Amino acid sequence: MLEIINLHASVEGTEILKGINLEIKAGEIHAIMGPNGSGKSTLAGVLAGRPEYEVTAGEVLYQGKNLLEMDPENRAREGIFLAFQYPVEIPGISNSYFLKTSLNAIRKHNGLEEIDAFDFLALVKEKMKIVDLDEKLLSRPVNEGFSGGEKKRNEIFQMAVLEPKLAILDETDSGLDIDALKIVANGVNKLKNKDNSILVITHYQRLLNYIIPDYVHVLYKGRIVQSGGKELALELEEKGYDFVKENDLAGVRG
Amino acid sequence: MKQENIRDHTERYLKIFSDLENIRKNGVFTHFRELKQNAIKNFTGTGFPTIKNEEWKYTDLSTLHEINFQPLLKFRDIKKDEGGIQDHFLGVPDSLRVAFIDGHYQPGLSDTGNHGSELLITPFSALKPEQYAELGSCLGSQISLTDDPFVVLNTALFTDGIWIRIPKGKIIDQPIEILYFATNQPQPGLIQPRNLIMVGENSQVGIIENYVGQNDAVYFNNPVTEIILETNALVEHFKVQSDSTRAVHIGTIRVLQHKNSNYISHSFSFGGLLVRTNINTVLADEGVECTLNGLYVGDGKQHIDNHTSIDHTRPHCNSHELYKGILDDNAHGVFNGKIFVRPAAQKTNAIQSNNCILLTDDATINTKPQLEIFADDVKCTHGATVGQLDEDAYFYMRSRGLDQQKARNLLIYAFASDVIDRISHEPVRGKISGLFGHKLKRVQLD
């Protein structure tokens, strides 16, 4: 599905990612954990095509294609979905209009007919149940006046409608209380199948109690310094990130 | 610009005046001889303003002066279905409407209804002789129209116009529309529309002033509209300016509001090369509501200037003003919003804001709120913002598969939507929203 090879990326001349290697196969859930400033969100941004990030070396293959050459909109149309850490408010555009436009852009790209208003409504009503989103939020402007939890649920609702092949969840757990966290996690689990992949980016282990990863990677200072199974997340939770930092220092000395 | 050149431009219009006076022995010119002669005398004295005049500091009139505009005298009547002119009406079919083409009244395209003598929708050129005196006593009688050279020039040169008089206690369901259509002629046209709208006590009406030009038509549109609202009257007024992008449009709307009246203005500037719209309202008595909404959208080398003035003279009045601008390419916008609160106007509540987005580095805006407050118990706020499109929202939309132009246009649409959404009349809102979408380089906003 996704292959990241020696990826280096900078923001305003400062190198943030310093050689990331990662392979995600279809049907897998990977988690990337790391302390603040380790480059987690930069990695998510680079994969989604944020223009402020400059890739200085390395490559990213998505379904065998050079991802870095694709515009953000084409990445989305090819099946990549980024659930934003801070979903953006767009006053004046209704949530349902935005999502319908998005869905139709993706369908058109994939040779499917545009969905009509009637079928779209039926579809969104079905999908809203997955994250228990209030129907009223459909007619409201995108994310405007939504609570923090509603914004995050709206992201997963969009994911449910757009059915991406690769979903990147960028700190989707941040700002959620435990009930909302469960709803979001259950929603993600319902959307998971053997063909799609999920990359969960998180600072805390608690989301991974509900979305069980196949692999956990620890990102530190722009590199993946450790990889393992789901038990690595528990180890991190117990020992804190200092343990990674010590390992890293030891590595440098050694 | 040299002084003698300014003089030359003024002379040209004096010549037009004397030509018209000679030709129109029996028309509007005869009936309003005194009014017009006073006006041309006034104009001779002042001439055109220059950028040295504070009111015209950011609007250079060279484009106007470079072209020899002349009244288009020869004209034929257009048939109802000719040239798709009908399609330009913004109101619903079968509503009351009046059409002018290149300044000439078109009975075949108009429907002024049949309402007896009380409700009047009449072009000046179709007035009965006894009505001229009555109109003459109304034109400029309550509202001062002698302090602006362009208004004065209109008074001197208008050859036709529309007089709408709504009697007491009448509620007109559908807006009355005035379409000023300009055609592409070899001779650049001089068009001086004049509108007088008088709305009686407890009456309600919508008025649409709709200016449309054929592609590439070169003309100078200089409309003047007077609106008088009697006690408790409500007027929702639309000015939609979709002139040709080679046209000059200098338009003035002057409003007088009596007790407890409510005036709502929606001013849209989409077309024109050199555009100035002045809207001045005087809140002459207590309990008045005044709302000025505006949206200006410029691209290419368009220059769009909006000057508004809201004059609070009496206590307990509210005014709300929201103008938004979108400027692309090399477009230049000007916004000047004056609010006067006179010493007697205690308990005034006045809110003003102007927000503008610049889509390129070459687009510019000069924005100036101007509050002059002489009363002490008032609430007045104003704000102006100038910015670019929200990059985060733009990326967010692209990351959901929207192409760049669609994302950009949706954001522009979203920015402007609160001005458009304030139009209460659904069909008109839909039409104006469509014009706006068309202006945004023909992107569908279904």
Q: Do B401 and A50 touch (CB under 8 A)?
A: no
* Chain A residues with CB within 8 Å of chain B CB: 48-51, 71-73, 75-77, 82, 84, 87-93, 98-99, 101-102, 105-106, 109, 141, 158, 162
Residue % of chain B over a pLDDT of 90: 77
Q: In whole angstroms, give the CA distance from residue B446 to residue B442.
A: 12
> Nearest CA to CA, how far is B394 from chain A (Å)?
9
Q: Where are the alpha helices (DSSP H) in B67-170?
A: 129-138, 149-157
Residue % of chain A over a pLDDT of 90: 73
Phi, psi dihedrals of residue B55, rounded to the nearest 5°: -70, -15
The pairing of strands B162-166 and A166-170 is unpaired
Q: In whole angstroms, give the CA distance from residue A217 to residue B100.
A: 73
pLDDT at residue B442 greater than cutoff 50: no
Residue of A nearest to B415 (CA): A92
Q: Please list, residue by residue across B15-52, b when 16 or more beta carbons sit within 10 angstroms of its beta carbon and e when fewer do.
A: ebbeebbeeeeeebbebbeebbeebbebbeeebbbeee
- pLDDT at residue B446 in the model: 38
Mutant choice from B400, B405, B411 vs A, greatest count of A C-beta within 10 A: B400
Q: In whole angstroms, give the CA distance from residue A137 to residue B128.
A: 59
Choice among B130-144, B241-255, B425-439 with the minimum mean pLDDT:
B130-144
Q: Give counts: helices (H), strands (E), chain B.
A: 9, 21
- Residue pair B309/B255 in contact (Cβ under 8 Å)? The answer is no
Residue B415: both structure tokens together: 């920015």
**Looking at beta carbons, which residues of chain A come within 8 Å of B406?**
101, 105
Choice among B20-24, B228-232, B234-238 with the minimum mean pLDDT:
B20-24
**Looking at beta carbons, which residues of chain A come within 8 Å of B400?**
76, 98-99, 102, 105, 158, 162
Instruction: Write the DSSP assignment of A116-153 as a string of letters.
Output: PHHHHHHHHHHHHHHHT--GGGGTSEETTT--HHHHHH
Average pLDDT, integer, range B319-332: 96
Residue of B nearest to A79 (CA): B401
Q: What share of chain B is helix, strand, coil (3-state, %, to 5)?
A: 25, 35, 40
Q: In a 3-state reduction of DSSP, which class is residue B405?
A: helix
Average pLDDT, integer, range B188-196: 96
pLDDT, tens only, B34-52: 999 999 999 999 999 999 9
Q: Do B406 and A48 touch (CB under 8 A)?
A: no
- Residue pair B259/B286 in contact (Cβ under 8 Å)? The answer is yes
- pLDDT at residue B193 in the model: 96
If we measure between CA atoms, which residue out of A71, A76, A62, A70 comes closest to residue A108?
A76
Q: Do B414 and A76 touch (CB under 8 A)?
A: no
- pLDDT at residue B21 in the model: 86
Average pLDDT, integer, range A196-213: 91
Residue % of chain A over a pLDDT of 70: 96
- pLDDT at residue B445 in the model: 40
Question: Which pTM value belongs to this model?
Answer: 0.86
Which residue type, as a one-letter code, is found at position A42? T
Residues 6+ apart with CB under 8 A from B384: B335, B353, B354, B355, B356, B367, B368, B369
Average pLDDT, integer, range B146-157: 95
- Reported as a pLDDT band with limits 50, 70 and 90, residue B75 is low
- Residue pair B348/B312 in contact (Cβ under 8 Å)? The answer is yes
- pLDDT at residue B144 in the model: 87
Q: What is the domain partition of chain B in residue ranges?
A: 3-285, 390-446
Higher pLDDT among residues B23 and B171, named by residue: B171
pLDDT, tens only, A59-112: 999 999 999 999 999 999 999 999 999 999 998 899 999 999 999 999 999 999
Average pLDDT, integer, range B68-85: 76
Choice among A199-208, B167-176, B354-363 with the minimum mean pLDDT:
A199-208
Q: Where are the beta strands (DSSP E) in B270-317?
A: 274-283, 289-298, 303-312
- pLDDT at residue A238 in the model: 81
Q: In a 3-state reduction of DSSP, which class is residue B369?
A: strand
- pLDDT at residue B1 in the model: 46
User: Check: CATH 3.40.50.300 for A2-253?
Assistant: yes
- pLDDT at residue B372 in the model: 96
pLDDT at residue B217 greater than cutoff 70: yes
- Residue pair B268/B436 in contact (Cβ under 8 Å)? The answer is yes
